[in-house]
């Protein structure tokens, strides 16, 4: 049987930074709408999840917990090692802000899609937001 620390380590190792469920859902939605994109351009600050090169627009798909969103899931902190998690999420938010600022100075427009926006109740609002951000399909 695994110790609690070993079990927690196994859970944390399983967390992915690319091709997450929310990211795949946004990609599928955009593709169905007719938009085409590039993935994870490492030559751009923050390696955006979706890049629309000709439009000079990028989309980041953020997990509510990991990036400190103000929703119910993002506002919840683990009870164990709370100081570590508070600091980690604060660093993530600072890095996100810095990357978006760098992209803006380089002439790119950015949009953040939060994990909680992918729920069925929020889906139509998300589609409208994406279309407003990206503009008509070329």
**pTM reported for the whole predicted model:** 0.85
* pLDDT one-digit tens code per residue, 68-106: 888 887 778 888 888 988 899 999 999 999 999 999 999
* pLDDT one-digit tens code per residue, 112-135: 999 999 887 888 999 999 999 999
Going along the chain from its start, the domains and CATH numbers come out as 40-134 (3.40.960.10)
Half-sphere exposure of 120 (CA within 13 A, CB side): 0
| Residue 59 burial (CB count, 10 A) | 23
Per-residue exposure over 81-100, b if at least 16 CB sit within 10 Å of its own CB, e if not: eeeebeeebeebeeebeebb
């Amino acid at each position: 049987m695994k110790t609690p620390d070993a079990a927690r380590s196994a859970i944390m190792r399983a967390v992915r930074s690319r091709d997450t469920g929310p990211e795949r859902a946004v990609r599928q939605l955009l593709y169905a709408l007719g938009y085409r994109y590039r993935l994870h351009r490492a030559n751009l600050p923050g390696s955006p999840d979706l890049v629309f090169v000709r439009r000079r627009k990028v989309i980041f798909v953020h997990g509510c917990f990991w990036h400190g969103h103000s929703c119910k899931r993002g506002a919840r902190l683990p009870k164990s090692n709370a100081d570590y998690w508070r600091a980690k999420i604060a660093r993530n938010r600072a890095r996100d802000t810095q990357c978006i600022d760098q992209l803006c100075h380089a002439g790119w427009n950015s949009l953040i899609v939060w994990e909680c926006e992918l729920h069925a109740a929020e889906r139509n609002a998300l589609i409208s937001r994406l279309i407003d951000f990206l503009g008509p399909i070329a």
